[in-house]
Amino acid sequence: MPVRKGAPALLSAGTLCAALLLTACASPAPSAPNPSAPTSASTSGDSRPAPGPPARAANELASAPAPVPRIPGVGPATQAHVPDGTTQAFLVTGATADSNKATATLYRRDPARGWIAAAGPWPARNALQGWTADHTAGDLRSPIGVFRIGDAGGRLPDPGARLPYDEDEQFDISGTGFMGEPLEGSFDHVIAIDYNRVPGRTPLDKERPLGDEKGGGVWIHVDHGGPTQACVALEREALRELLRALDPAAEPVVVMGPASELAR
């Protein structure tokens, strides 16, 4: 019997971030002044006091790095699809349009620092033939874009997700993949990508708002050791970590596609 927990997820769409490194350097301490020699103040006649706390704060603010406005590797056109309220973005980047291997990183938007890495990077897989901006059922390509991710589930119990999670025996799969690898266990944990689906429902839901010809059932699931039909696959522990990190209040999205497309 399915077990459903949590509140309905938000509607779909997409995100960006990066971390800046601030280096500090120390200079040697000045030598002590000669008591018999006049100080620079008495020599120059400049008796102005050293800058106080407000002046120091202003100087520090002026030298602080600017917040990172976009997710690293994401260009302005892609970033524009990330909702204003989104503060978590799961970036899945393929090397080329025809690549079925990718790199995945979870970013969060810090109020002061902008988009910074929160988890990963992890190796990931996508569809056998790569990526497409016009996904159709059976094309063996993963859809490019920015999509909400708000519903989860799996055959195994909830690993601590904050997203609504459906535990159901129907998340079962058998057979072999494109490399002859066993598919069993691939749906032990899944996160639904809001491509051609109704948000707020179990990932098992079959309704396709764009029509069946546009495909559906695109998930983030456990890696079975080979390319997928259209989904994104992560190693088991990476997916469990992602499930525990995603927060519905952060309006999380997945930003996915080849690097050249995401950089637009």
Q: What is the pLDDT of residue 67?
A: 84
Block means of pLDDT (10 residues each) for the chain, 264 residues, are: 42 33 33 38 45 56 73 98 98 98 98 97 99 98 99 99 98 98 99 99 98 98 99 99 99 99 98
Full-model pTM:
0.77
Give residue 26's pLDDT.
Answer: 31
pLDDT of 83 = 98
Q: Is 107 helix (H, G, I), strand (E, B) or coil?
A: strand
User: Looking at beta carbons, which pairs linking 132-136 to residues 24 or more positions away fall under 8 Å?
Assistant: 133/257, 133/261, 135/195, 135/214, 135/215, 135/218, 135/230, 136/213, 136/214, 136/215
CA distance 70 to 20: 12
User: Residue 27 gets which letter from DSSP?
Assistant: -
Domain ranges of the chain: 3-18+67-262
- How much is the pLDDT for 190? 99
pLDDT at position 159:
98
Rg (CA), the chain: 25
